[in-house]
Amino acid sequence: MSKQVRLGASSITVNPVGLGTNAVGGHNIYPNLDDEIGREIIRTAIDEGINFFDTAFYYGPERSEELIGQVVKEHGSRDKIVLATKGAHRSVNGEMELDNSPSFLRQAVEGALKRLQTDYLDLFYIHFPDEGTPKDEAVGTLKQLKDEGKIRSIGVSNFSIEQLTEANKDGYVDVVQSEYNLFKRDVEKDILPYTSKNTISFIPYFPLAAGLLGGKYTKDTTFNDGRAKNPLFQGETFLRNLEKVEQVREIAQAKNAEVAHVVLAWYLTRDSIDALIPGAKRPDQVINNLKTLDVELSHAEIEKIDNIFT
């Protein structure tokens, strides 16, 4: 078991490498997922010492939470597991709408408790901000649920700095989750300084930039999914991005590590990034993700990676 890190100002501690589970039961996100493979991914993670699982109502919808709940119950390890889930989506006439209202957030938490087969959630995030609900009012509802023992800590996801500041008016936010990777560093301007100053943990999603920072692609790689329209994968931009990845590969090879491990290790050197939630579509990928914890970067290497992507 690796060292444990604290999430924000909460009492919750986790392995710095957790598991993002949108490919466990996320049938609306990835085609042709196998639920039994999803369960095996969770089993493998628990057996390998991962104790931080990130899911959401939206993944499935609902199915990811259900599969995780099944495995945690069969494993009998609830007290050793940190379950984080997210809510904000409501289905209206077959369409998903965002709702942060107090009444809906209560419904979202109660639904997640049932699907995860537990009587408390370690971390509950507002998945996306809606347009109408005051953010401090939404977070205030989560504080009430925390006082009731139904959640242990409070998170917000995909909030702007203005929305985060409003949400944290009373100091209740423990964790922020947003997109962040070496190609998309907007949060360094305002969100990361705010989380660092206010003892809030920042959890990045899409840390490997749709696989581009995994070091697996070449100039001849073609894409027939969403990456085909992603600006990072277009023409000369794609070639320049590959050159940057190759510079990281030099560092990785010197450490007998993979590019992805070095990139993920770099994130853990950033202020307020206390834990990561890389995903996995197979059990062996779960084990591979944990190799991140074997990578130690020198100050010079940290600075070099920073400069490559500046």
**Catalytic residue (one of 30, 58, 59, 194):** 59
Active site residue 59: yes
Helix (H) or strand (E) holding 277: none
Q: Residue 121 carries which DSSP code? A: B
CA angle 10, 63, 90 (to 5 degrees): 75
30 CB burial (10 A radius; 0-12, 13-18, 19+): middle
Question: pLDDT class for 20, splitting at 50, 70, 90?
Answer: very high
Is residue 29 included in any domain, yes or no? yes
Q: What is the pLDDT of residue 2?
A: 64
Is residue 244 included in any domain, yes or no? no
Return the CATH number at 42: 3.20.20.100
Is residue 303 included in any domain, yes or no? no
From residue 4, alpha-carbon distances to 13, 14, 16 in Å are 6, 5, 7
From residue 249, alpha-carbon distances to 51, 61, 184, 205 in Å are 29, 37, 19, 22
- The domain total for the chain is 1
- In sequence order, the β-bridge partners of residue 202 are 176
pTM of the model: 0.96
Is residue 227 included in any domain, yes or no? no
Digit-coded pLDDT (tens) for 55-103:
999 999 999 999 999 999 999 989 999 999 999 999 888 889 999 999 9
Is residue 278 included in any domain, yes or no? yes
pLDDT score of 1 more than 80 = no
**Cα distance between residue 88 and residue 156, in whole Å:** 10
Maximum Cα–Cα distance for the chain, whole Å?
55
The answer to whether the Cα torsion of 26, 29, 221, 278 is positive or negative is: negative
Digit-coded pLDDT (tens) for 148-201:
999 999 999 999 999 999 999 999 999 999 999 999 999 999 999 999 999 999
Is residue 235 included in any domain, yes or no? no
**Cα distance between residue 135 and residue 301, in whole Å:** 39
Is residue 225 included in any domain, yes or no? no
Digit-coded pLDDT (tens) for 97-137:
999 999 999 999 999 999 999 999 999 999 999 999 999 99
Is residue 247 included in any domain, yes or no? no
Mean pLDDT for all residues in the chain? 96
User: Which of 185, 183, 177, 186 is closest to 273 using CA atoms?
Assistant: 177
Contact 178, 204 (CB under 8 A): yes
Q: Which domain holds residue 272?
A: 5-209+262-296
Percent of the chain with pLDDT over 70: 99
